[in-house]
Every structure is written in structure tokens, then in C-alpha cells.
A = this chain, B = another copy of it.
Amino acid sequence: MKRTIALLALLIIPCTQAAESRPPSQIIAEAPAEHWRPADPQNTLYLDLENGRVIIELAEFMAPGHVANIKALARERFYDGLSVYRVVEGFVAQGGDMDGDKPTGKAKRTIPAEFSQENPTHRFTPLPGPDGYAPQTGFIGGFPAARDPQTDETWLVHCNGAFAMAREQDIDSGGTEFYAVIGPTQRYLDRNTTVFGRVLDGMEVLQQLQRGTEAGGILEKPENNRIVRLRVAADLPEKERKALEVLRTDSPSFEELIAARRNRPEGWFVARPGYVDVCSVGIPGRATTDHQSKP
């Protein structure tokens, strides 16, 4: 396995690391229990596709209307049997009711835009350094975000894994057609659509979907990417759930992780820009059993 040492060096703990600057892997492994929070099953979606499960955490505190409505749609079984009908390599996977004619019950077809919040309830953890798209970037409630410090306007940003709502020309026209960013960041979409969650687990399931070949990346046979079901995690029996925890983005461990990502250790790294962008920090998650099974 000699040759594999190369990039592995980025993931394991260098022996020469000084005690006061721990590498990311160690920060995450040693983060105390109170720096983690469980992903709330009431704000978690399970998107079950033919090839596996995608787990999405919903940002109720940022987009309460969208979160309440997609949960209502899930509980009406709205998405079951529909499809992820638009998949563009390096861009998005979009699903829902392509034809726009499936009836809903009490859930709505459109929800007023929730592109940003003026006074968000959660604390914003700023990221140092420049950003071309926003006055300030950082993290809020476990999501990558941006902010205007002058007005406190705060919004979630389009990193890989962002879960958002497609819309037509009218900013309030979205409500059922969700998309996930499956490629590099799509930051130019920030504040143009409502980002209301992010994929916690199962990105590889989305990546395995068939790409569309029709105009705009629509599939010729959308049924090839069939949605088996979309459920609120809390509505499934506990034994059918995967308990996940997310490192709190307002915790000292996460602050230390930001610093470690900005300042890579000398040694393997010979070029060290002293910078990390908001989409490259990575918000650690883990299955609850991962650490409970350890002594």
C-alpha cells in the first residue's frame, strides 16, 4: 500500500504536529459530546431512491415556510412515485412533479420566497478572509452561510450538497420542485432561490443518478430516477432511521477546525495560502453509533 501514502497524509495525524495546533481529524475525533448536536428527526428528510437513501437536514430557522410545506408534502406522500427528472453533471439534481399537475392536499404548491433572514435566531460564526460573492461568509446553525454585517441580513449559500427550491420568474413561484447541488459551488444562485437544507448523507446516491440528455438536463425517461418515497425521519420507526450528529458550528471545536483548515501544517504542505472558502470547510457529521461503539 506504499503508493497510497500520498494523499492520505492529508487525512491522518502527522507525528510532527505541535500539541497546540491539532489537525482536523484530531479536532473532530476529540470534540467533546456537547460540541455535537443530533440532527432533529423532525427536521430531517429521507429521500429514498431506487439506488439508496439521501438524508437531508432542513434549516427550519432560516426557511420555516419551505420546511413546513415540504414536510406537509412528504406526509401527503406527494413525492412518492415522482422522479428526479433533471440531473446535470456538475450542477444540480432536481426532483418533484415535472408536469405540475399532481394535486396536493393541505400542502401548498407555492411558498413565498425565503431567500434570507434579517435577524436570524441562531448565532453566526464568521469565517475570516475575502469572499467575492458576499460581504461576509460563515456558518449558522450547522449550515454554510453568508451575511451583510451592516444589516444582519443572513442567507444560506449554494455549496455542494445545498438543498433548495427551484422557481419560475416570480420569486414566490417555488414550492415543490427541490434541487440539490451535486457539483461545485453555485454561489451565483445565492439569494435567488430559497436554500432550506443540506444533504447530510448519501451524496453518492445522487451522483449515481442518470444524467438528463434533453434540453436543460431533463431526462428522456425521468422514471429511471424514480423517487421511491420522501419521508420526514420522525415518521419512520426508530429502527429504520440512521441517527446522525453534526458538529455544532458555534462550538469551540468548529472554530478550531476553521483555523486548521485555514492553516494547513508545514511538512507535506509546501504552499499554504492561509485561507479557506466557506464551501471548503466542511461541517463534520457522524452516525451516532460511530462513537458510541468506541470505548
Contact = CB atoms under 8 A, between A and B. Distances in A.
B6 A166 contact: yes
Closest 5 CB pairs of A and B: A191-B271, A6-B166, A2-B100, A132-B275, A207-B207
Number of copies: 2
Interface residues of A, number: 73
A96 B3 contact: yes
Contacts of A18: none
Where chain A touches its partner, the secondary structure class is loop
A215 interface: yes
A50 to B, nearest CB: 14
A130 interface: yes
A267 B169 contact: yes
A7 interface: yes
B1 A280 contact: no
A8 interface: yes
A203 B118 CA distance: 39
Contacts of A173: 6
Contact of A269 (B4, B183, B192): B192
A12 interface: yes
5 contacts: A1-B98, A1-B99, A4-B98, A6-B94, A188-B273
A218 B2 CA distance: 13
Q: Which of A6, A12, A186, A207 has the largest count of B CB atoms less than 10 A from its CB?
A: A6
A230 to B, nearest CB: 16
A261 B211 CA distance: 24
A48 interface: no
Contacts of A203: 89-90
A99 B2 contact: yes
A185 B188 contact: no
A268 B133 CA distance: 18
Contact of A208 (B131, B186, B208): B208
A63 interface: no
Nearest to A218: B4
